[in-house]
């Protein structure tokens, strides 16, 4: 994998980095690339030449699934080393971005308050309860998760996330971290060329990375984003406004939203589902059904599901469940869209699944197709599934 040929797109609230901070973040990015290209592939070699033959000798058959592979690999030195290095890269990534945000937090908060020009809105709800699936663990080792606030008008979680996503993805989401939204838009334009949504809702919009591309794609639509985390929304609001993109953001739980029935023509989510509990997923799908107008479309974007993958790749992709504070990762990659459609009240016949090519061609060309976190697996493809009402 070569080094990327762009830097992150600057906007009013993107944290700056001193030379030391920047080189620390760049180190994490290079370190992750080194793991993906030089260390991770040998895990397969170790499996094929040592672990699988030993398993076959003992059991008289090959491992049946990713769980048996994981149990067999857990004691292996090479796997342990790779796993430990990858976990370390995750912790280093957060730290390298956090230090820089802490240094300039006052300035970022001031900038977030003064950046209002595009016509978007922000509605926070200090009484909203953060779901237990976010308070029980620091999701993907992000210190304090998305929701923690330390000072008034805090934007730190959003600022850290914006930089950390760029480092995590090794630049492969593009300069604006918007590859998931852009890839989904490209799919929708192709599959539903007549779709002209008047109102679009992005669930779990975070810093608004994926929300923004819908504005250029559907310039006549009103775009809404919801998230449970206030610091993400404050940051998203300032970021979108400074980019001239009007988005209406509100702090709400996607399981129970305050919008009227049938009030959206397009509902999207990007890597939200794997961070919600199984019960929450069901509630969110039901909300999608309630909120969509007849003929409206809901699309959910994730990394590829296990079902179309060989067991070894599935084992590698499942690493996050056991090692990266992603308790719902495994289950979310086993979702069966037609069953989910039926549960939520959609017609299962109107379910779709699609592997959407990355819209960010440069990133696609450089992806390793190693199912290691941050490379997103799938060789530059996003897994989209959804329903038409």
Ligand X SMILES: C[S@@+](CC[C@H](N)C(=O)[O-])C[C@H]1O[C@@H](n2cnc3c(N)ncnc32)[C@H](O)[C@@H]1O
**Contact set with ligand X (CB under 6 A):** 131, 146, 180, 204-206, 209-210, 226-229, 232, 253-255, 270-272, 275-276, 280
Q: What backbone phi and psi angles, to 5 degrees, belong to 355?
A: -95, 105
Alpha-carbon distance of 263 to 294, in angstroms, equals 10
Reading the block at residue 262, the tokens are 């049938």
C-alpha angle 248-254-260 in degrees, rounded to nearest 5:
65
Contact between residue 201 and residue 268 where contact means Cβ atoms under 8 Å apart: yes
Contact between residue 227 and residue 204 where contact means Cβ atoms under 8 Å apart: yes
Of residues 63 and 131, the one with the C-beta less far from ligand X: 131
The residue among 20, 139, 37, 41 whose CA lies nearest residue 90 is 139
Of residues 206 and 215, the one with the C-beta less far from ligand X: 206
DSSP, collapsed to helix, strand or coil, labels residue 127 as coil
Alpha-carbon distance of 220 to 31, in angstroms, equals 43
Q: How many CB atoms lie within 10 A of CB 362?
A: 15
Residue at shortest CB range from ligand X: 204
Q: How far is the CB of 8 from ligand X (least distance, A)?
A: 14
Alpha-carbon distance of 175 to 10, in angstroms, equals 9
Of residues 32 and 140, the one with the C-beta less far from ligand X: 140
Q: How far is the CB of 112 from ligand X (least distance, A)?
A: 16
Of residues 63 and 213, the one with the C-beta less far from ligand X: 213
Q: How far is the CB of 205 from ligand X (least distance, A)?
A: 5
Q: How far is the CB of 324 from ligand X (least distance, A)?
A: 13
Both ends of the chain: CA-CA distance in Å? Answer: 42
Q: How far is the CB of 287 from ligand X (least distance, A)?
A: 9
Q: How far is the CB of 161 from ligand X (least distance, A)?
A: 8
């Amino acid at each position: 994998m070569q080094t990327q040929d762009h830097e992150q797109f600057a906007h009013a609230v993107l944290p700056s980095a001193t030379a030391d901070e920047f080189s620390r973040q760049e180190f994490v990015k290079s370190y992750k690339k080194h793991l993906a290209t030089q260390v991770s592939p040998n895990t397969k070699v170790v499996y094929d030449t040592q672990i699988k033959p030993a398993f076959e000798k003992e059991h008289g058959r090959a491992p049946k699934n990713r769980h048996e592979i994981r149990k067999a690999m857990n004691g292996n030195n090479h796997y342990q080393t790779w796993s430990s290095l990858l976990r370390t890269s995750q912790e280093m990534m957060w730290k390298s971005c956090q230090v820089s945000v802490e240094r300039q937090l006052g300035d970022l908060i001031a900038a977030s308050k003064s950046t209002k020009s595009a016509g978007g809105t922000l509605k926070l709800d200090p009484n909203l309860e953060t779901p237990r699936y976010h308070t029980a663990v620091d999701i993907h080792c992000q210190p304090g998760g998305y929701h923690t606030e330390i000072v008034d008008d805090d934007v730190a979680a959003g600022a850290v996330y914006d930089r950390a996503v760029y480092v995590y993805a090794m630049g492969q989401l593009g300069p604006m971290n918007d590859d998931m939204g852009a890839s989904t838009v490209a799919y929708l334009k192709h599959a539903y060329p007549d779709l002209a949504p008047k109102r679009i809702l992005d669930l779990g919009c975070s810093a608004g990375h994926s929300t923004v591309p819908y504005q250029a794609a559907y310039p006549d639509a009103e775009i809404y984003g919801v998230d449970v985390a206030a610091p993400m929304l404050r940051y998203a609001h300032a970021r979108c406004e400074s980019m001239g993109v009007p988005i209406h953001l509100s702090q709400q739980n996607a399981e129970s939203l305050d919008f009227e029935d049938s009030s959206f023509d397009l509902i999207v989510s990007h890597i939200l589902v794997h961070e919600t509990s199984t019960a929450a997923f069901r509630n969110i799908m039901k909300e999608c059904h309630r909120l969509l107008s007849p003929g409206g479309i809901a699309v959910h974007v994730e990394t590829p599901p296990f079902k179309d993958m060989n067991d070894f790749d599935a084992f590698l992709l499942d690493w996050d469940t056991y090692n990266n504070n992603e308790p719902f990762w495994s289950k979310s990659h086993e979702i069966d869209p037609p069953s989910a459609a039926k549960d939520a009240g959609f017609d299962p016949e109107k379910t779709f699944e699609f592997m959407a090519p990355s819209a960010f061609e440069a990133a696609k060309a450089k992806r390793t197709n190693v199912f290691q976190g941050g490379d997103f697996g799938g060789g530059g493809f996003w897994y989209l599934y959804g329903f038409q009402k």
